Amino acid sequence: MGILNLTPDSFSDGGEHDPGSARSRLDELMAEGASVVDVGAESTRPGAPDVSADEQLRRLAPLLDALAGGSVPFSIDTSSAGVASTALDAGAVLVNDVRAGLADPDLLPLVAERGAAVCLTHMRGTPADMQDDPRYADVVGEVERFLGDRRTAALEAGVGPDRVLVDPGIGFGKTLEHNLALLAAVGRFARLGPVVVGVSRKGMFGQLLGRSVDERLAGSLSAALAAVAEGASVIRAHDVAATVDALRTWRAIGDAGRSHG
């Protein structure tokens, strides 16, 4: 899952793309090997303020117009049913909601009505306050229970069981230790459904490795491979070509081992 942010303040690529360059970047991500591109217009970096649905739609409109009726598989990164509806009209196949359907009661019924898929993410608090001293008695168990409850809510809203993905929310209200524990426990979340993992360029690598945002590729790739080894189905990444190469190499080695074992 390639990342394309139409935001002025996302932590890694904020302000990089106007509508014209966004379409070019989307095509580049697909050419690099993305299966789907996640398009968003609201930053969810730590400390980010909420962005209204109207402002999200203003930022998204030119790109959605260009995508309408096309064949590019894309998801919409939003918690707003209104934004999701417009994106689904333009051909989005998945709604990626970091608030897991809790911010807008119309979102899960909309996904069900439209026959789309949804990714439900665990986040403690909101982007504005999620990193203010996050604490858990049992981070893996608490995240697992939350995702299970939200999956049940999606099913009760009418979303098909094969259309619900879960995301443990690396960096969304977690310390470095929490993030590492969740990555090691991906297999537990996979019992709920396909697991999406987003670790690309995140702050955990600044803490773990002392690397700035543009120096975190090695850490991102290592964490992505570990997540897939534990059972993750989707890796959300800025550096699609490098991630695809790493995954293909890792898989080829595994295939060779099995064929000669």
Name the residue among 201, 206, 210 with its Cα closest to residue 239. 201
Name the catalytic one among 25, 202, 211, 248.
202
Structure tokens at 80: 């707003």
CB of 12 closer than 8 Å to CB of 237? no
Contacts of 4 (CB under 8 A, 6+ apart): 17, 22, 25, 26, 29, 37, 38, 39, 40
Lay out the sheet containing 37-40: strands in order across. Answer: 2-5, 37-40, 74-77, 94-97, 117-121, 164-167
Contacts of 257 (CB under 8 A, 6+ apart): none
For Cα atoms 57, 62, 65, give the angle at the middle one, nearest 5 degrees.
95
Name the catalytic one among 23, 45, 124, 236.
236
Q: 236 an active-site residue?
A: yes
Q: 174 an active-site residue?
A: no
Catalytic machinery residues: 202, 236
